[in-house]
Amino acid sequence: MTARLAVLGNPIAHSRSPEIHGLFGEQTGIDLRYDRILVPENQFAAVAREFFAAPEAVGINITVPCKADAWHLADEKSDNAETAGAVNTLLRRPDGTFAGHNTDGAGLVADLKDNLGWQLANQRILVLGAGGAVRGVLANLLAEQPAKLHIWNRTSARAEALVPIFGGKLEALTADRLENAYDVIINGTSASLTAQQMTLPPSIIGAESCCYDMVYGPEQTRFNTWCLAQAPCHIADGLGMLVEQAAAAFEIWFGVRPQTRSVLELLRKTL
């Protein structure tokens, strides 16, 4: 039986997930079909249940704006999903219930450490943003035991609200309190997708800073361009995170971890 998978969201036509998981299936010898499914507003639960009504349905990925809806649909949630308040991977279990996971943080850390070779332990890390993208990765970053994990958001209250959720292990700072030349800076804001100007102090970036934008595209992102204008730092975009979080989801569904490097290289060539 061909295993059925899908990614649900709105918009969805741009998703590279069918290509990624198709390559994973070829690599592991698993016969699968992976679809994109557009979710009308407020219809996530109905669309997901309709998909899972098929006996060959194994699991789904969830993208914006449906991750909170998937969290509510899940009967049981992983620790990461519980803390993040968001689910990006659902698995239908043999009894018909749904297990919810969030693989974004695992994907980010795998890309930073395994693909890029960046250090996280004992490093001073600054995370920009306080939305769902950031909330989904903070637990994994904290698990790497950085020396400091600072978070900044344009609206300070949103950043401060995350501190108690993560046991006070991170610190929310206003722009005037940010430190100089962080070791790692991770952008989880929409700065690269909008025309808004960067209002952060240039001093946060030094020549040895590693700057990562969760956004990706065929050209250098706006955030990474800004970083390089402040200092000759190291930069990377979020394509590797996309592939790595997909690999983590694939392992949840099938119990096998696919190799990601060749898939990442192929996707990079076809952006």
Catalytic positions, written as ranges: 67
CA distances from 155 to 151, 159, 161, 227 (A): 11, 7, 11, 21
Contact predicate 90/100, CB 8 Å: yes
Contacts of 9 by beta carbon, 8 Å cutoff, 6+ apart: 15, 38, 39, 62, 63, 64, 65, 66
Strands 89-92 and 124-128, sheet pairing: unpaired
44-45-50 Cα angle (round to 5): 100
**CA–CA gap between residue 177 and residue 184 (Å, rounded):** 17
Instruction: Quickly count: other Cβ atoms within 10 Å of residue 57's Cβ.
Output: 17
